[in-house]
Amino acid sequence: MDLYEAVKSRRAVRGFADRPVPREVLERVLSAAAWSPSGSNLQPWRVYVLTGEPLAELKKRAGERVAAGDAWDEREYEMYPTALKSPYRERRSAFGKERYKSLGVAREDWEGRQRAASGNWQCFGAPAALFCYIDRDMGLPQWADLGMYLQTVMLLLRAEGLHSCPQMAWSVYRKTVAEIVHPPDDLVLFCGMSIGFENANVDYIRTGRAPLEETVTFVESSALRSHAA
């Protein structure tokens, strides 16, 4: 698959087919993703892969917590700034609107939204998932390394005909994940990622992106003159 096609066809898929992902495919993808860059080649990602019985057990335990209305685990990092300013606030709200519209859930329907969110903890039906941790000593640049690594994984999954959904949602049930993967205490769970073949019968609305000028500035030589002292 052409790289541009992989980038453009990657999206957060929230409906997976009941079709297993071969172990050798996961190994091929994760071996290649190890070539992702990281500052001073620290390779700060620490990944646990779940399929089969361990993943089924995780979904079961998480499902029980959701059903019991169990409180979320205390946070080890904030997912978003408490007060999102413009333009991020508007982008987040547009995303929420589109997502609930695709599910036919009204914005004020709190229960419907909870139901939609609970799909996270069933990995949206995916037969495989990974959980990406980082050492708690690491700083912002190493967290950025994790992002590069995870995007590389997601693009390689596209090359294999697979889809994915990165999920910070798992961080709120991090203790349940830890019961299954037994990470050392010095690791923090950044996110999970559901992996599998897409269930083409699940509706979705493709997210948009801000126009290039909003996020990218080509600095022209005229700028040198206009900013000259």
Ligand X SMILES: Cc1cc2nc3c(=O)[nH]c(=O)nc-3n(C[C@H](O)[C@H](O)[C@H](O)COP(=O)(O)O)c2cc1C
| Per-residue binding letters, 191-210, with ligand X (x by CB under 6 A) | x---------------x---
Region of 38-46, 86-94, 167-175, 221-229 interacting with ligand X (CB under 6 A): 167-175
Q: Mapped to the 3 state alphabet, what secondary structure does 156-222 carry?
A: HHHHCCCEEEEEHHHHHHHHHHHHHHCCCCCEEEEEEEEEECECCCCCCCCCCCCCHHHHCCCCCHH
Confirm or reject binding of residue 168 to ligand X (CB under 6 A).
yes
Angstrom distance (rounded) from CA 59 to CA 74? 20
| 71 phi and psi angles, rounded to 5 deg | -65, 150
Angle of CA points 100, 102, 104, to nearest 5°: 65
Tell which one of 51, 142, 164, 167 touches ligand X (CB under 6 A).
Answer: 167
Total residues binding ligand X (CB under 6 A):
12
Quick one: 157 or 165, whose CB is closer to ligand X? Answer: 165
Our finding on whether 148 is near ligand X (CB under 6 A) is no
> Taking CB under 6 A as the rule, does residue 9 contact ligand X?
no
Nearer to ligand X, 180 or 198 (CB): 198
Least CB distance to ligand X at residue 7 (A): 10
Looking at residue 115, its amino acid is R
Cβ-based nearer residue to ligand X, 153 or 191: 191
Task: Give the number of other CB atoms < 10 A from CB of residue 154.
Answer: 23
Question: Which residue's CB is nearer to ligand X, number 26 or number 163?
Answer: 163
E strand segments, 103-220: 128-135, 163-167, 187-196
Examine residue 169 and tell whether it contacts ligand X (CB under 6 A).
Answer: yes
Binding marks (x or -) toward ligand X, 86..125, rule CB under 6 A?
Answer: ---------x------------------------x-----
Residue carrying structure tokens 């917590």: 65
| Backbone CA torsion sign across 158, 196, 124, 102 | positive
Q: Enumerate binding residues for ligand X (CB under 6 A).
A: 11-12, 14, 95, 120, 165-169, 191, 207
